[in-house]
């Protein structure tokens, strides 16, 4: 009854707020309770084929991506596939089940009985508040990582690795020893002390270099001594969903390449340098960036070409027009800061300050011998001026002169937060 009251016909949870004090509680409890609710299948008349958890621990609906209006047409009951002898499943559906890893003939049904709903984590299947509290409490404590590893922006291989990592089933030396197998352990990366999960992913000197590279690439606070997966993954929480996705990819990818590098060295005697690991991680982020559902085209994270220098430009004026400053941060293709400069440019408008930043930034880059440039600015108006060749007259000649000494240049607009370092300096 509660289900009917709070769901639409197609099985979607009603999004608006019911005028009820228990509704938020129900909304919260439903998702965490779902895996605990199951069925002893009788004739199947009470069980919704798509929306109840009867074949796997989640409803079949969650295995299949269909638009909402099609779900409205899916009204089958489990009883539609049972006759008096038992299962009566058409062969194509039978195969579809197998593809999901379900052998339907192994699920018992009793065509002559009624269906019984059960609470799975109680051995008698009976629901009690105490048991529900115990089950869901454990789940909340141990499965905080759930929302991080099944993101759409991660490709399945990386999610799979993350799952093994978070469930602590990677065969690190300490884990093998805990299973009672004797082995002499030494960290493959540094050769100094025994390998434990903590050492391998957080404490080893080689690893620390990678983490500080990762955080500085994203302008995030460094990983401190006691921070572990949860704190590290949550570092980007305050930023936009897109940057968040990229950061989570970064963290998981760094971990995965650490693990791969350890195995390559240990079993193939092939050493991956820190630089090689960094390149692979960047390539992985580059691939995943294209999968993120939050992609805004002009803001896509792009890998720099090897010879390219990235300029994060920001001009800002206090008041428009008002006293203005400009700031540029230069990074190489591995994300390392190569230089930065900022200066005051008198009283001007925001737009002119942004254009001025790009001109001065490029000028300084050329003086340093950097001739392949990627300009990133959060002012799409300024970027537009350059890509359409409509630069304010004041800067036009200077720009033509600069162009003649460059080998390549490209532009993109980005969010303010992505280069807030440049922004802070301009102020």
Binding site for Zn ion (CB under 5 A): 187, 189-190, 204
Residues sharing a CB contact under 8 Å with residue 334, sequence separation 6 or more, in sequence order: 213, 275, 278, 279, 282
Shortest Å distance, C-beta 262 to Zn ion: 9
Minimum Å gap between C-beta 14 and Zn ion is: 52
Contact between 333 and 306 under an 8 Å Cβ cutoff? The reply is yes
- The Cα diameter of the chain in Å comes to 89
What is the nearest approach in angstroms of Zn ion to the Cβ of residue 221? Answer: 24
Q: How far apart are CA 212 and CA 223, in angstroms?
A: 7
Least Å distance, CB 264 to Zn ion, is 15
Residue (278 or 356) nearer to Zn ion, CB: 278
Q: How far apart are CA 1 and CA 74, in angstroms?
A: 20
Q: Which is nearer to Zn ion, 140 or 209 (CB)?
A: 209
Phi, psi of 403 (to 5 degrees): -55, -35
Q: How far is the CB of 335 from Zn ion (least distance, A)?
A: 24
By beta-carbon proximity to Zn ion, the closer residue of 103 and 276 is 276
Separation in Å, CA 279 to CA 71, 155, 222, 303, 329? 43, 18, 20, 10, 21
Among residues 212, 176, 209, the alpha carbon closest in space to that of 194 is found at: 176
Residues ≥6 apart with Cβ < 8 Å to 102: 55, 56
Give how far Cα 282 sits from Cα of 113, 191, 214, 339, Å.
58, 27, 10, 21
How far does the chain reach from its first CA to its final CA, in angstroms? 59
Specify the residue, 204 or 355, whose C-beta has the smaller distance to Zn ion: 204
Residue 51 vs 189, nearer CB to Zn ion: 189
Q: Which residues touch 377 (CB under 8 Å, ≥6 apart)?
A: 312, 313, 314, 354, 357, 358, 383, 411, 413, 414
Structure tokens at 67: 């638009």
Q: Judged by CB, which is closer to Zn ion: 34, or 206?
A: 206
- Smallest distance, Å, CB 210 to Zn ion? 12
Residue-wise over 356-383: b if at least 16 C-beta within 10 A, else e? bbbbbbbebbeeeebebbbbbbbbbebb
Smallest distance, Zn ion to C-beta of residue 258, A: 10
Q: Give least dist CB 158 to Zn ion, A.
A: 23
Calpha distance 183→389 (Å, rounded) = 67
CB of 217 vs Zn ion, minimal distance in Å:
22
Which is nearer to Zn ion, 204 or 329 (by Cβ)? 204
Distance CA 198, CA 186 (A): 13
Choose between 67 and 191: whose C-beta lies nearer to Zn ion: 191
Specify the residue, 228 or 394, whose C-beta has the smaller distance to Zn ion. Answer: 228
Residue 166's H or E segment, with its range, is helix 156-166
Shorter beta-carbon distance to Zn ion: residue 204 or 353 = 204
Burial of 139 per CB tally in 10 Å (0-12, 13-18, 19+): middle
Q: How far is the CB of 416 from Zn ion (least distance, A)?
A: 39
């Amino acid at each position: 009854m509660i289900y009917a009251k709070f769901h639409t016909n197609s099985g979607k949870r009603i999004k608006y707020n019911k005028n009820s004090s228990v509704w938020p509680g129900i909304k919260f409890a439903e998702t965490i309770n779902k895996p605990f609710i199951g069925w002893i299948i009788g004739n199947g008349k009470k069980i919704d084929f798509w929306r109840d958890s009867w074949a796997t621990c989640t409803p079949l609906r969650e295995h299949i991506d269909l638009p909402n209006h099609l779900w409205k047409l899916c009204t089958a009951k489990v009883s539609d596939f049972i006759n008096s002898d038992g299962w009566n499943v058409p062969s194509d559906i039978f195969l579809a089940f197998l593809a999901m890893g379900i052998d339907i003939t192994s699920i018992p049904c009793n065509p002559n009985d009624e269906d019984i709903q059960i609470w799975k984590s109680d051995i008698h299947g009976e629901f009690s508040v105490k048991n529900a509290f115990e089950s869901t409490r454990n789940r909340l404590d141990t499965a905080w990582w759930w929302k991080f590893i099944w993101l759409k922006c991660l490709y399945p291989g990386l999610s799979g690795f993350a799952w093994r990592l978070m469930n602590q089933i990677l065969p690190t030396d300490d884990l093998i020893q805990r299973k009672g197998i004797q082995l002499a352990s030494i960290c493959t990366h540094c050769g100094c002390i025994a390998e434990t999960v903590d050492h391998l992913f957080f404490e080893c000197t080689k690893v620390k270099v990678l983490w500080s590279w990762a955080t500085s690439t994203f302008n995030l606070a460094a990983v401190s001594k006691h921070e572990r997966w949860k704190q590290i993954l949550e570092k980007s929480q305050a930023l936009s969903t897109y940057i968040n996705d990229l950061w989570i990819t970064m963290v998981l990818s760094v971990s995965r390449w650490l693990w791969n590098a350890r195995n390559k060295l240990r079993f193939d005697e092939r050493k991956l340098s820190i630089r090689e690991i960094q390149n692979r991680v960047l390539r992985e982020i580059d691939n995943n960036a294209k999968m993120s559902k939050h992609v805004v085209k002009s803001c896509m994270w792009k890998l720099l070409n090897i010879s390219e220098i990235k300029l994060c430009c920001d001009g800002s004026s206090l008041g428009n027009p008002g006293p203005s400053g400009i700031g540029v941060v230069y990074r190489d293709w591995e994300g390392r800061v190569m230089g930065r400069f900022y200066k005051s440019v008198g009283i001007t408008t925001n737009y002119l300050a942004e254009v001025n930043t790009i001109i001065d930034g490029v000028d300084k880059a050329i003086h340093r011998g950097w001739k392949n440039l990627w300009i990133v600015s959060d002012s799409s108006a300024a970027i537009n001026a350059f890509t359409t060749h409509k630069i304010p007259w004041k800067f036009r000649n200077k720009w033509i002169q600069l162009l003649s000494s460059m080998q390549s240049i490209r532009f993109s607009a980005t969010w303010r937060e992505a280069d807030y370092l440049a922004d802070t300096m301009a102020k």
